[in-house]
Amino acid sequence: MFDTVPRQPDHREIEPRILKFWADCGIFGKLAERNRGKPKFKFLDGPITANNPMGVHHAWGRTYKDLFQRYHAMLGQDQRYQNGFDCQGLWVEVEVEKELGFKSKRDIETFGIDRFVEKCQERVLKYSRIQTEQSIRLGQWMDWENSYYTMSEENNYSIWHFLKKCHERGLIYEGTDVMPWCSRCGTAISDQEIATEGYRELTHKAVYFRLPIIGRENECLLVWTTTPWTLTSNVAAAVHPELDYVRARKDGDVYILAKPLLHVLGKETEVVEELKGEKLVGLRYKGPFDELGPQRGVEHRVIPWDEVSAAEGTGIVHIAPGCGKEDFLLAREFNLAVIAPLGEDGAFAGDFDWLKGMDAQAAARPIFDSLEKKGLLFEVEDYTHRYPVCWRCGQELVFRLVDEWFVSMNSLREEMKESARQVRWIPEFGLARELDWLTNMSDWCISKKRYWGLALPIFRCECGWFDVIGSREELKSEAVAGWERFEGRTPHRPWVDEIRVTCGKCGKPVARIKDVGNPWLDAGIVPFSTTHYLTSHSYWQEWFPFDFITESFPGQFRNWFYSILAMSTVLEKRSPFRTILGYAMMKGADGREMHKSWGNAIDTDEAFDKMGADVMRWVFCRHNPVQNLNFGYALGDEVRRKFLTLWNVYSFFVTYANIDGVSPASLASKPGKPSLLDRWILSRLNSLVKLSRERLDDFDPSSAPRAVEEFIDDLSVWYVRRSRRRFWKSASDTDKQAAYRTLYGCLVTLAKLLAPFMPFIAEELYQNLVQTAMRDITRLSDSSDRVPAPESVHLCAYPEPDASLIDVALEREVGLARSVVSLGRAAREKSNLKVRQPLQAVIVRLSEPAEKDALLRHADTIKEELNIRDLLFGDKGAPFPPGYAVEENPEHAIGICTELTPELENEGLVREFVRKVQNLRKSAGFEVTDRIRLHYQTSPRLAAAVRAFEDYIRRETLALVVTEESLPEPDIRESARINREPAELALKRVRE
């Protein structure tokens, strides 16, 4: 006996029960053990930031990871199953700062770096535990005891090794650059970080101002800027040499600006001269803040720059090399002075007189006042633009001249592009995107002036000497002081800061620079650190390079993909992975970004509760990964409906199999004779298995689920619906046996096929269909040589297609017959006649005459489906006789004869009569196999019809007796109308 199946699957009951079963029976351990030593599937997990509970977008990627790992496990492949947590970096620090109520770096230093770093570690451990629990709930199978943490010593020291290799190639340098800077976090923000998620639409004050030209009375450049604070550090003004400019008079002054922007001056202007920008180059002007200390001795002049445009402003660009990246490059080219006005906190530092200590953003108004006083202000306006903000804390960034440490990328550029080309990128455009980034990448800024992160192993002396330490052992042997305070500690701040080494040039004791590393170093080294590159080279060789990684595309070209390619190229001159599956972004159901305040964000735990892990996984798997996923509960409901169909089929099977005492053993011993319908669904099943394997082998997650959905539809609305009678008591034994065997085979194979996608429901089906039934057999049979079925569906081999069962021609034929049927139904609907009313004829007009033979092989089916007596054929295009309802599509035209004979009408009446009786049976709560006595009293017309079709009625309603004589104590009675004929009906169950 199979266990009785509830009307609906309840994930709240099923999923925890299955999780417990897996844990109690150690299924995952058995799987890993069984596959050990077999051919490998090498998957590398990109680490998840262990800083908050898992988001639903994480569940998307983790579903792919689990899907392919489970699939390859069912192929019998050995795997590492190592999950990774990303632990270090600003994102964790910012959250801990919030927890502690800190406002700035000063708060951290007062609190103590050691305690702060420990708090960061604690936070990571807390959320890695929570994320682990959530992942388990998703059904993800990993060796959870063995997750890697990027804060581990092995990870950090492996990065030291990488940096040492870079240093040996001369790639590490300290550079001055103008970088986007967060004054709250007190750190530079890399281009990568800004490109990914660092812009917001903001409104600032923009200002038009005059720069008086030296040597020309009452003549000035008209210039515009959106960052007033940078005017303090202006040293040049740039024009486009080929652009048209004008000298224009207004109110007695002469203004110079680009001709297309003349309107900026307003009305009543007079153009004195038109000239090309190149004629302006070399002019000298009075700076806007010449009175400030840092401006002393600075000569301001007009320089040429091809990037100047006449799109906005005045076509003259103010240049402050200490406040902008491009400005800084121009300073190198034109040998301009570089004035760096801001300190780490984003306020004016140094000899800036009344501005000193004032926050840069807050300085706009006083700067306008100062310009006004000096007669330089022309106009102030509001200006809305996309402006960079700190991706962690939201603070508006400033551009600041900083000393940072870099890896020079120029000499690696071509090698890295070659590494990228070794990879199969899915989708293909990934390669072009990565190559584009690699072509344009500047040097890699690896330092951050923070606390919780990789301690950059760079020791630098005041005299200019620096060295990079490559390992703990090297640190120990080079240390001349501080080792005892460091020993026993992880290589983190503040403990590692205690170490001193000897300067190789001047002999002084030298400390480590205070900076920590860019967190992408942490994630970039994992192909090496997790496989023990430095400590167990042979193990590393076994697993490197990896077969497969999968992560979200946007952003990662510049982040993880970039850092693993860079580090692997330096260490091994090749890509660390062979195939990458990228997927797009998750949005809210409304297509907007998910935001709590917009009400479209979905909490992961809530999604598990409401939707269930299986349904969630299916939503992810069936989605085309190239497109953004607008995730919401409606998608889950859609999937649940589809799988309720499968559940109904499963429930149908179990109900009838239990009635007939069917078991896996009885099915194996009595195969029966497969019907055309059996052969068709088995062909569909094996085609599905074939496709699923092919697509999964190709790292395509979404094609198989779509094919599964079609198969479930075929199985339910065609195979089971058309096979229903074969499971009835009256059916012939051999045919019944074939039907059971076919349906059972479909369900068990489907459970295995679904296992990597929907691990819970697959297990549920498998346990009942195979294990429950097996227990009976084991109990009943004495034979000990029976091969037991695997304990779990996940210990089964992934199904293999049986090519001998695939009949493509048959699938095509049935598809054709079904399309004719659906067209015929549409034609019937036009006629407004009930489906139960038999009709005389259907004429099918074909554009492909060869289809006639195929359709004739399914003539009975078509006639039965359409409830029509004769199936006739004709050429497409020929007219239909009068009285036909017609429907057509590009291939076929179908006409249905709508004229009724009295005989057809009677038959229609009887069918309605049968339907009424069936409904009464249900209302009375009879079992599907119960026999009945049926009493009726009705109009002479209907009574005559009932008598004429009595055999048919008995067969359909399982009535032993159909009588007009009254029935004592019926179980149910009803007064009904059957096509306008009044009728009294009564039913009584016959006890056997």
Binding residues for Zn ion (CB under 5 A): 182, 184-185, 390, 392-393, 395, 461, 463, 465, 503, 505-506
CB 41 within 8 A of CB 542: no
Cα pseudo-dihedral 796, 611, 594, 98, rounded to 10: -90
d(CA 527, CA 538): 14
Q: How far is the CB of 362 from Zn ion (least distance, A)?
A: 17
Tokens 């089964």 correspond to 796
d(Cα 720, Cα 717) in Å, to the nearest integer? Answer: 6
Backbone φ and ψ for 974, nearest 5 degrees, come out as: -155, 145
Amino acid, res. 251 = D
Nearer to Zn ion by Cβ, of 508 and 812: the residue is 508
H or E stretch covering 960: strand 959-963
User: What is the chain's percent helix, strand, coil content, to nearest 5?
Assistant: 45, 20, 35
End-to-end Cα spacing for the chain = 22
Half-sphere exposure (CA, 13 Å, Cβ side) for 79?
30
Bridge-based pairing state of the strands 546-552 and 577-583: parallel
- Name the minimum Å distance from CB 447 to Zn ion: 16
Q: CB-wise, 392 or 558, nearer to Zn ion? A: 392
User: Which is nearest to 932 in space by CA: 871, 981, 987, 866?
Assistant: 987
Which two structure tokens, joined as six digits, stand for 403?
A: 């000393």
Nearer to Zn ion, 390 or 496 (CB): 390
Between CA 752 and CA 758 the distance in angstroms is: 10
Nearer to Zn ion, 49 or 79 (CB): 49
Nearest to 50 by CA among 20, 95, 10: 95
Cβ at position 502, least distance to Zn ion in Å: 9
Residue 387 Cα to chain centre, angstroms:
28
**Site of tokens 């009294």:** 984
Measured from the CB of residue 253, what is the shortest distance to Zn ion in angstroms?
43
Pick between residue 390 and residue 795 the one whose CB is nearest to Zn ion.
390
Tokens of 561: 């993909």
CB of 512 to Zn ion, least distance (A): 14
CA distance 751 to 564: 38
Question: To the nearest whole angstrom, how small is the minimum distance from the Cβ of residue 201 to Zn ion?
Answer: 18
Kindly state the tokens that stand for 427.
């989708």
Q: Whole-number minimum distance, CB 510 to Zn ion, in Å? A: 7
Between 269 and 395, name the residue whose CB sits nearer to Zn ion: 395
CB atoms within 10 A of CB 385: 13
Q: Are 214 and 422 in contact (CB under 8 A)?
A: no
Kindly tell me which of 390 and 426 has the beta carbon lying closer to Zn ion.
390
| Distances from the Cα of 531 to the Cα of 569, 573, 923, angstroms | 17, 17, 66
Shortest separation between residue 516's beta carbon and Zn ion, angstroms: 15
Q: What stretches of 390-450 show up as alpha helix (H) in DSSP?
A: 413-421, 429-440
Query: What are the residues facing 274 on neighbouring strands?
Result: 246
Between 189 and 762, whose beta carbon lies closer to Zn ion? 189
514 vs 989, beta carbon nearer Zn ion? 514
Tokens of 248: 């224009």
Least Cβ distance, residue 187 to Zn ion (angstroms) = 7
Least distance (Å) between residue 387 CB and Zn ion: 14
Q: Which is nearer to Zn ion, 241 or 343 (CB)?
A: 343
Q: Are 393 and 185 in contact (CB under 8 A)?
A: yes
Nearer to Zn ion, 346 or 524 (CB): 346
Q: What is the DSSP string of 884-895?
A: EEEEE-SSEEEE
CB 630 to Zn ion: min, Å: 30
Specify whether the CB–CB gap between 880 and 898 falls below 8 A: no
| Sign, Cα dihedral of 842, 846, 849, 853 | negative
Min CB(178)–Zn ion separation in Å: 18
Distance CA 648, CA 644 (A): 6
Nearest distance in Å: CB 391, Zn ion? 8
Least CB distance to Zn ion at residue 506 (A):
3
* Of 20, 18, 145, 142, residue with least CA distance to 69: 142
In the bound state with Zn ion, the residue whose beta carbon lies nearer, of 66 and 193, is 193
Beta strand 577-583 pairing with 424-426: parallel
- Residue 185 or 549: the one with the smaller Cβ distance to Zn ion is 185
Question: Least separation, in Å, of the C-beta of 183 and Zn ion?
Answer: 8
Name the CA dihedral angle for 369, 384, 186, 468, rounded to a multiple of 10 degrees: -120
Give the nearer residue to Zn ion in terms of CB position, either 101 or 940.
101
Crossing angle of helices 613-622 and 11-25, rounded to 10°: 100
Instruction: Give 52 or 269: the residue with its C-beta nearer to Zn ion.
Output: 52
Compute the radius of gyration of the chain from its Cα atoms: 39
In the bound state with Zn ion, the residue whose beta carbon lies nearer, of 194 and 503, is 503
Residue closer to Zn ion by CB (options 109, 473) is 109
Q: How far is the CB of 555 from Zn ion (least distance, A)?
A: 18
- Residue 123 neighbours by CB under 8 Å, 6+ apart: 51, 92, 95, 96, 99
Amino acid, res. 371: L
C-alpha distances in Å from residue 14, one per residue of 26, 62, 134, 796, 869: 18, 21, 17, 20, 48
What is the nearest approach in angstroms of Zn ion to the Cβ of residue 695?
A: 44
